[in-house]
Every structure is written in structure tokens, then in C-alpha cells.
Structure 1
């Protein structure tokens, strides 16, 4: 496992194959499954091996317990970072916000990306409130773009540009 970045309470590593069952368990947990897609073992193994995909393991510094994961895709040509999926298994402790702030810093300062974007289901109120509080801009809505057992669901698109990040957070490392 290679340490990619850290925050005051978290260490973030490239995920390894042995963590795939934990990742799948987190995706399928009742409190998470309505807000994130579920990948197969083979999907996650391919993500680990891909050069343009980051499957990250999120661990606490205190006991190195894996409390979450993140899946992102990097488009180096366009300098665009797609934040596809995040699950933090320990709720209401501020780990999600802390992780995303660390990931934004890693994305804009270390990787020198120009755009960081994500989508969120319209009923993911906690996520939407977090993204807007961090300065993400709502770009639009993919209306009824996904269908599951609950019916058609719309996805909201949010993004932050490099200049917007530096304007809000400055050019120095926060963490």
C-alpha cells in the first residue's frame, strides 16, 4: 500500500486486492447502497490495476482501521478528476468532509488537475449539502438518468475548478 496523502486524522492509500471484500461490504451496506453503485470483485480488481483509476483505501491514523474507500477517474489530457464514489463507514464524525478536503488538495496541488467533478443522486441530501458547503457549483441535472428498484433517478452534477479552489482555500497546502 502506498500512502498518497494524509489529513489530521486520516491516511489515504492505493487500495489493494485484499481490501476488495471490505469495499464491497461497505458499498452494499443498507445505509450506503442507495447512494453508490455496487461493483463486482472483478470491477474493483480492474480499478486497482487501471492507470487512470484511483481506488483508495481510507484509514484512521489512530488504529489504521479502514473506514472508507473512494473511486475516482483521472483524465490527464483534460486535467479532469472525476470523483465517482465515496463511502465513509463511520458516520457523523466529520471524516467525509476531512477526506474530501484532503482529496481536493491532492487533486489540485499534487496532481495539478483543472477540474474536479462528481454526480450525486437528488435524494443524497447529506452529500449535496456537504458538496455545496465546500464550494462545489451545481452545473446541472441528468434527469432520470439511472433506473433501479425504486424507479428512475436523477443525478445532480457538481464541480470545482482549480481557480475556484485556490480562491476559496488558497495556494498553500491546507493539510
Structure 2
């Protein structure tokens, strides 16, 4: 069972460990402890910890825009290939709709992250554009909820 709860500052060190895993670090831009703390303090930024069977298993970083859209900035899952990420993303979309009043969730994903793109498409996200970050192509995807 997946449960999403507001993250605690005490979770940051675990988040950093998760971000540094070899099967994760190539698909995100890892944050330092101070960057995570600064992001957590932002008014429109929400960190959600993902618990699976009572254990901290990952986290989301979400940013709510004034338009009501939610930027799905990051998801990191500690143990991959168990379906935890897909179930957590479904729960996150429901959370955004119910608790944040969102109508649209959008994200960017490195074009080289074929596994991520596959999962997002499977969960109903569609490409709406492309962008660049430090010379790497990003695919912009969205889902209306």
C-alpha cells in the first residue's frame, strides 16, 4: 500500500542517498542538503514522502503555479522495478486533484530517460513540447486530471 505524506526535514538525508543511486543520478539533477531545505521552504513547493508498507520508499517534489497547474518536478524511488513508482504517481495525481485543486500536471524528462517516458505515457501523460537543459534535450509532458 502506498501512502503520500508531507515530507519532514529529517527525510532530506535519505532523499539525498536515493538521488545518488547509480540508477537514479543520471535522470535527475541532484540537490544538496541546502538546496532541498531551500526548496522545502518555498511557499508553492511541496515535498511528499512516499511510504510503501510503512517504509520511506521515495519522494516527490511538486510546484503549484498560480494558474493551478502543478509542475511534477521530481520523483525518486529507492527500489525500482517493483511498481512502487507507478502506483505513487497515480496517487500523486489524485492528491493534486483533491488537495491542490489541480486540473493539469506537467513535467519535463530527459529524452534519454526512456524508462521514465514509457511510464509517463502508460499513465496518461502526453508530450506537448521540448526544451533544453545544459545541452540535453528535455521532453515536456502533461496530463489533464
Aligned residues of 1:16 and 1:48 also touching (Cα < 8 A): no
Unaligned runs of 5+ in 2: none
SS of equivalent residue, structure 1 residue 39 = coil
User: Helix, strand or coil: the match of 1:116?
Assistant: strand
Q: Is the 8 A contact 1:53 1:73 kept in 2?
A: yes
- For residues 69 and 114 of structure 1, the distance between their equivalents in structure 2, rounded to whole angstroms, comes to 21
In the alignment, which of 33, 41, 44 is matched to residue 41 of structure 1? 33
Given that 2:63 and 2:73 are in contact with CA atoms closer than 8 Å, whether structure 1 keeps it comes out as yes
Q: How many residues align?
A: 145
2:116 paired with 1:127: yes
Check whether the contact 1:118–1:159 (CA below 8 A) recurs between aligned residues.
yes
1:167 corresponds to: none
Shift of 1:15: 1.2
Deviation string, structure 1 residues 50-90 (Cα, Å, up to 9, x no partner): 221011211112xx221111111011x20110000111111
Instruction: Tell me the TM-score normalised to structure 2 length.
Output: 0.94
CA distance in 2, matches of 1:97, 1:20: 22
What is the TM-score when the length of structure 1 is the normalising length?
0.79
Partner of 1:137: 126
Alignment match, 1:71: 61
Q: Which has the higher contact order (CA 8 A, sep 6+)?
A: 2
1:21 aligns with 2:13: yes
Q: Displacement, 1:48? A: 2.1
The separation in 1 between residues aligned to 2:100 and 2:63, in whole angstroms, is: 12
Determine the C-alpha separation between the residues in 1 that align with 2:40 and 2:130.
30
**Structure-2 separation of matches of 1:60 and 1:130:** 19
* Distance in 1 between residues matched to 2:119 and 2:41, nearest whole Å: 30
